[in-house]
Amino acid sequence: MIHCKDNVRQHLSSVGIPTNVRENVISHLFGAAGVAESTDEDTQDDRMADTLQYVRQNAGDAVTYIEERILPK
């Protein structure tokens, strides 16, 4: 999980996403109420939808990366 988190942070940085948005994306994915900490499928689906909505609104250049490389893991 640490490796994935570092990869996301590095990718978001490389496409020019501001630090505060990067950290919010990391929190949506890996935080205590993030996708990775979901306890059931319904919760995971809701958190994934929230995360993708946030990424689309604030970090559009990273949507494909998050959808195809991170969320499937």
* Amino acid 7: pLDDT: 96
* Amino acid 25: pLDDT: 97
Domain ranges in the chain are: 2-70
For residue 1, give the amino acid letter: M
CA–CA distance, 31 with 33 (Å, rounded to integer): 5
Length, in residues, of the chain:
73
* Placement of tokens 């990366």 in the chain: 65
Please report, rounded to a whole number, the percentage of residues in the chain having pLDDT higher than 70. 100
* Placement of tokens 């996708």 in the chain: 35
DSSP 8-state class, residue 39: S
The separation between the first and the last C-alpha atoms of the chain, rounded to the nearest angstrom, is 9
Report the pLDDT averaged over residues 28-56: 97
Report the pLDDT averaged over residues 52-66: 96
**Helices assigned H by DSSP within 1-73:** 2-14, 19-30, 41-58, 63-65
